[in-house]
């Protein structure tokens, strides 16, 4: 078993090595300089592309410049950030234990999955970029691990996550009929309000500041604190009752209680203000003669006949006899009693032709014949006056409805909850093979559900989990057996999810916080900048050391190390594995820089030996690489094995470190064997004469 693991690790390495050799061997035979150049170009291209992606800012500036000059349209590289772990951006790592003692063992897995799902939903409320919610079963215990990176209010998150999910069945809310007792009570309340209102009116009559009365009596929460002010009340305001009152009342306090939908009001009217544009309202009456095809006409006469009739009436009409003429002749229903009276109206209330005529004519005159869709009209304009808006303040004394209460919410509680739900599971419709969710209630739930379905046939029943609606199936028929299926166009995954959610409320799984690890954002930022500095210092130290000790090859190794850093950055930013950068991951990365040069050191030491033994440069390099490879492979394999074990057993901190270190080792092998080797091969002939560049002494 262990051997297999070792083989699993070493085999790819062997293959990698073999592949690298195969790729390199033909191109590195001394006679084939052209091929060396070609692979050098490939390596340089890989590294340049990687650098462009790892830090696209300057590259994109370059693209902009080129695009501008040549009017090209080369796309930019989208800049991408590292995924920062919670120790770098601040956040919290929470471990919960799910208490499954009350749940049958075969249901436990599902129940815990359901809880996980609920927690995930709750967590999504916190606007955390990538919340992690995992379950973990070890030794018969269920744990739920929650990681919230960048969460601001850890305390609230903990409070919310820790609640046991609540499942409720609700029906559409109906107006509630009051009981006799309640009716009596509201009546009593309303009477006492009325009495109070009258008292306040009496007091106001004796004088005093209206605002003070507002402050002490008004029950209108919105206007109470600004002296009862409702603003300017015009014809379109939400207070039509007050507007109508204001039009016919004097300025000041209206000496009566005004009833509206909210209750009893005492209003105070301020100085009226003309409406913008000096709009007016008009009082008029009209006489209508319609014909067969006109709107709402019940007569059989033709349009021509109507025209003749109206022309004749026009000749007779005066302001004095107009009412009587209308009563006798108008075809408008009810005109015989109303005399065509239209009352007061303003612009926008009548059809355009009619409006144009009536607002254009002088007061106290009869109009010419006006044609509208309804027929021919004669109009008597009786009066016209400007429109006003009124500043109104009020004291509200709320009254209660005396018979029914309108529902305030869409859904109302039914008493049926997760407690009475025995289980939910996915079943398949035997006819259509569609997945459905079957729900089973206990004895108590059976009765409740029967009643609920009876009174809600063809209506919806909403299922709430954690106060959020998760489904609202329609009731097809009364269900008295205590078992029902929820059907719909679910796919299996959706059906399973819904069943799990139902179960999570049905099988209450309390969770207990076992541990929390919270890191403040400041500490995270601090760690990030410090790690960056440490990495830079470490890199410079290694660079100086390598150049001093190994000279030209050392310089090549530095270039290779730089490429290594760039490649690592690209892998971390763009890898589909969503590698997360953690503090210990960065430490692992910096450490891997130290190890990355190891392969170079091994190769260069071999190179020196081969040179000392008198071999020419090019073949010495080849030999050096070949001989060093075995050591490099075996040596790194042992580190990879321990990384693998860390990954298997570790907590997230250790995992982050292990992943970075192992990726670092693999990439460093590539950079040592591909980049160092190819570059060294390329430049050796240029400096072949100067052996001091390679060796300190002959």
Partner 1 sequence: MKLAIIQKRKNFFILSGFFVIVSLLSLIAWGLKMGVDFTGGSLMELQFAQRPTVEAIQTSFKEFNLGEITVQPSDENNYLIRFKDIDEETHQKIVTKLKNDFKSTTTDTAESTENTPEQPAIEVIDDSGNKLNNISFSATTSDGTKVEGKNDVKKADVTELRFDSIGPSIGQELRQKSFYAFTYAIIAIILFVAWAFRFVSKPVQSWKYGVVAVVALVHDILITIGVFVFLGHYYGIEINTPFIAAILTVFGYSVNDTIIVFDRVRENLRRYHEDFEKTVNDSVNETFVRSINTSATALFVLLAVYFFGGETVKNFVLALIVGIAVGTYSSIFIASPLLVTWHKLTERLSKNG
Site for partner 1 in 540-569 (CB under 8 A): 541-542, 545-546, 549
Site for partner 1 in 24-83 (CB under 8 A): none
- Return the range that interacts with partner 1 (CB under 8 A); candidates 57-65, 246-254, 485-493, 518-526: 518-526
3-state secondary structure (DSSP) of residue 689: coil
Does 215 sit near partner 1 (CB under 8 A)? no
- Return the range that interacts with partner 1 (CB under 8 A); candidates 24-32, 90-98, 493-501, 571-579: 90-98
Site for partner 1 in 93-112 (CB under 8 A): 95, 97
Interface residue with partner 1, options 176, 275, 513, 562 (CB under 8 A): 513
Residues in contact with 658: Cβ distance below 8 Å, sequence separation at least 6, in sequence order: 588, 643, 644, 646, 647, 650
Strands 83-84 and 580-581: parallel
SS (H, E, C) 299-337: CCCCHHHHHHHHHHHHHHCCCCCHHHHHHHHCCCCCHHH
Give min distance, CB of 166 to partner 1, in A.
20
- Return the range that interacts with partner 1 (CB under 8 A); candidates 259-267, 322-330, 445-453, 524-532: 524-532
- State how far the alpha carbon of 36 is from the alpha carbons of 20, 410, 561, in Å: 14, 76, 20
By beta-carbon proximity to partner 1, the closer residue of 84 and 643 is 643
Give min distance, CB of 15 to partner 1, in A.
16
Interface residue with partner 1, options 25, 80, 152, 480 (CB under 8 A): 152
Give min distance, CB of 632 to partner 1, in A.
8
By beta-carbon proximity to partner 1, the closer residue of 387 and 632 is 632
Structure letter (DSSP) for residue 419:
G
By beta-carbon proximity to partner 1, the closer residue of 574 and 649 is 649
- Return the range that interacts with partner 1 (CB under 8 A); candidates 184-192, 404-412, 458-466, 629-637: 629-637
Segment holding 389, helix H or strand E? strand 388-398
Does 523 sit near partner 1 (CB under 8 A)? yes
Does 2 sit near partner 1 (CB under 8 A)? yes
Does 125 sit near partner 1 (CB under 8 A)? no
Residues in contact with 152: Cβ distance below 8 Å, sequence separation at least 6, in sequence order: 126
Residues in contact with 409: Cβ distance below 8 Å, sequence separation at least 6, in sequence order: 173
Separation of alpha carbons 649 and 659, rounded Å: 13
Give min distance, CB of 543 to partner 1, in A.
10
Total residues interacting with partner 1, rule: CB under 8 A: 80
By beta-carbon proximity to partner 1, the closer residue of 243 and 657 is 657
Residues in contact with 155: Cβ distance below 8 Å, sequence separation at least 6, in sequence order: none
- Return the range that interacts with partner 1 (CB under 8 A); candidates 18-26, 146-154, 308-316, 681-689: 146-154
Does 159 sit near partner 1 (CB under 8 A)? yes
Does 539 sit near partner 1 (CB under 8 A)? yes
> What's the token pair of residue 298?
């019940």
Q: Which residues of 520-554 are buried (b: 16+ CB within 10 A; e: fewer)?
A: ebeebeebbeebeeebeeebeebbeebbeebbbbb
Q: Where are the alpha helices (H) located in 398-518, listed in sequence order?
A: 443-454, 492-506
Site for partner 1 in 631-690 (CB under 8 A): 631, 634-643, 645-646, 648-651, 653-654, 657-658, 661
Does 457 sit near partner 1 (CB under 8 A)? no
3-state secondary structure (DSSP) of residue 447: helix
Does 535 sit near partner 1 (CB under 8 A)? yes
By beta-carbon proximity to partner 1, the closer residue of 342 and 596 is 596
Site for partner 1 in 592-621 (CB under 8 A): 593-595, 597-598, 601-602, 605, 609
Give min distance, CB of 673 to partner 1, in A.
16
Give min distance, CB of 407 to partner 1, in A.
33
SS (H, E, C) 279-297: CEEEEEEEEEECCCCCCCC
Strands 483-486 and 91-98: unpaired
Interface residue with partner 1, options 98, 253, 380, 519 (CB under 8 A): 519
By beta-carbon proximity to partner 1, the closer residue of 259 and 518 is 518
Separation of alpha carbons 24 and 19, rounded Å: 8
Give min distance, CB of 175 to partner 1, in A.
37
Does 629 sit near partner 1 (CB under 8 A)? no
Does 206 sit near partner 1 (CB under 8 A)? no
By beta-carbon proximity to partner 1, the closer residue of 493 and 541 is 541
By beta-carbon proximity to partner 1, the closer residue of 98 and 499 is 98
Of the candidates 513, 265, 300, 494, which has an alpha carbon nearest to the alpha carbon of residue 397?
265
Separation of alpha carbons 633 and 672, rounded Å: 12
Separation of alpha carbons 639 and 591, rounded Å: 12
Separation of alpha carbons 381 and 603, rounded Å: 110
Site for partner 1 in 5-34 (CB under 8 A): 5-6, 10
Give min distance, CB of 544 to partner 1, in A.
9
Does 510 sit near partner 1 (CB under 8 A)? no
By beta-carbon proximity to partner 1, the closer residue of 164 and 631 is 631
By beta-carbon proximity to partner 1, the closer residue of 36 and 557 is 557
Segment holding 508, helix H or strand E? none
Separation of alpha carbons 330 and 602, rounded Å: 114
Length of the chain: 698
Does 84 sit near partner 1 (CB under 8 A)? no
By beta-carbon proximity to partner 1, the closer residue of 16 and 369 is 16
- Rg of the chain over Cα atoms, rounded to whole angstroms, equals 44
User: Cβ distance 553 to 628 under 8 Å?
Assistant: no
By beta-carbon proximity to partner 1, the closer residue of 434 and 525 is 525
By beta-carbon proximity to partner 1, the closer residue of 359 and 545 is 545
* Residue showing tokens 């009276």: 341
- State how far the alpha carbon of 600 is from the alpha carbons of 180, 283, 620, in Å: 94, 102, 15
- State how far the alpha carbon of 422 is from the alpha carbons of 37, 70, 115, 133, 436, in Å: 74, 72, 16, 26, 17
């Amino acid at each position: 078993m262990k051997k297999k693991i070792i083989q699993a690790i070493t085999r790819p390495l062997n293959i990698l090595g073999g592949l690298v050799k195969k790729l390199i061997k033909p191109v590195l035979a001394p006679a084939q300089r052209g091929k060396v150049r070609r692979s050098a170009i490939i390596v340089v291209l890989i590294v340049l592309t990687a650098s462009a992606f790892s830090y696209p800012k300057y590259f994109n500036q370059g693209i902009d410049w080129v695009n501008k000059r040549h009017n090209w349209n080369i796309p930019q590289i989208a800049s991408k950030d590292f995924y920062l772990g919670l120790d770098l951006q601040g956040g919290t790592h929470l471990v919960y234990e799910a208490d499954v003692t009350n749940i049958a063992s075969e249901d436990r897995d599902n129940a815990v999955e359901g809880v996980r799902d609920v927690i995930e939903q709750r967590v999504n409320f916190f606007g955390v970029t990538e919340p992690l919610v995992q379950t973990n079963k070890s030794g018969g215990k269920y744990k739920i691990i929650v990681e919230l990176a960048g969460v601001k209010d850890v305390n609230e998150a903990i409070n919310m996550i820790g609640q046991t999910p609540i499942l409720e069945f609700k029906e559409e809310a109906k107006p509630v009929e009051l009981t006799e007792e309640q009716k009596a009570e509201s009546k009593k309340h309303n009477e006492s309000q009325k009495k109070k209102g009258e008292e306040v009116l009496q007091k106001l009559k004796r004088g005093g500041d209206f605002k003070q009365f507002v402050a002490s009596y008004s029950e209108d929460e919105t206007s109470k604190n600004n002296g009862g002010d409702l603003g300017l009340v015009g014809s379109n305001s939400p207070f039509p009752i007050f507007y109508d009152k204001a039009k016919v009342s004097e300025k000041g306090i209206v000496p009566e209680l005004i009833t509206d939908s909210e209750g009893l009001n005492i209003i105070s009217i301020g100085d009226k203000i003309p409406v913008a544009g000096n709009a007016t309202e008009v009082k008029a009456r009209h006489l209508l003669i319609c014909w067969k095809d006109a709107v709402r006409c019940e007569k059989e006469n033709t349009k021509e006949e109507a025209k003749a009739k109206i022309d004749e009436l026009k000749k007779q009409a005066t302001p004095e006899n107009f009412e009587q003429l209308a009563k006798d002749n108008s075809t408008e229903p009810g005109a015989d009693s109303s005399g065509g009276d239209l009352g007061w109206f303003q612009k926008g209330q009548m059809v355009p032709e009619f409006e144009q005529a009536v607002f254009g004519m002088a007061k106290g005159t009869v109009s010419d014949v006006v044609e509208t869709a309804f027929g021919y009209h004669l109009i008597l304009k009786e009066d016209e006056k400007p429109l006003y808006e009124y500043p109104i303040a009020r004291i509200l004394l709320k009254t209660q409805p005396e018979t029914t209460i309108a529902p305030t919410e869409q859904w109302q509680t039914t008493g049926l909850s997760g407690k009475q739900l025995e289980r939910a599971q996915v079943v398949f419709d035997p006819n259509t093979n569609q997945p459905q969710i079957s729900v089973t209630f206990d004895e108590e739930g059976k009765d409740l559900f029967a009643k609920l379905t009876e009174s809600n046939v063809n209506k919806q029943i909403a299922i709430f989990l954690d106060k959020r609606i998760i489904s609202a199936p329609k009731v097809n028929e009364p269900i008295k057996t205590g078992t029902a299926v929820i059907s719909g166009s679910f796919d299996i995954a959706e059906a399973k999810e819904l069943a799990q959610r139902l179960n999570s409320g049905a099988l209450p799984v309390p969770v207990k916080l076992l541990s929390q690890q919270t890191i403040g954002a400041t500490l995270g930022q601090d760690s990030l900048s410090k790690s960056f500095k440490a990495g830079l210092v470490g890199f410079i130290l290694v660079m100086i050391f390598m150049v001093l000790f190994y000279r030209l090859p050392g310089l090549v190794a530095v270039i290779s190390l730089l490429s290594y850093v760039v490649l690592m950055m690209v892998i971390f930013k763009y890898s589909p594995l969503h590698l997360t950068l953690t503090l210990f991951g960065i430490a692992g990365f910096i450490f891997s820089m130290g190890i990355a040069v190891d392969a170079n050191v091994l190769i260069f030491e071999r190179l020196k030996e081969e040179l000392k033994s008198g071999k020419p440069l090019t073949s010495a390099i080849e030999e050096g690489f070949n001989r060093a490879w075995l050591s490099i492979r075996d040596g790194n394999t042992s580190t990879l094995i321990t990384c693998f074990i860390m990954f298997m057993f570790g907590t997230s901190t250790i995992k982050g470190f292990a992943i970075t270190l192992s990726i670092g080792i693999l990439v460093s092998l590539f950079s040592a064997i591909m980049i160092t080797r190819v570059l060294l091969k390329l430049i050796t002939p240029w400096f072949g004469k100067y052996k001091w560049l390679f060796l300190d002494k002959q």
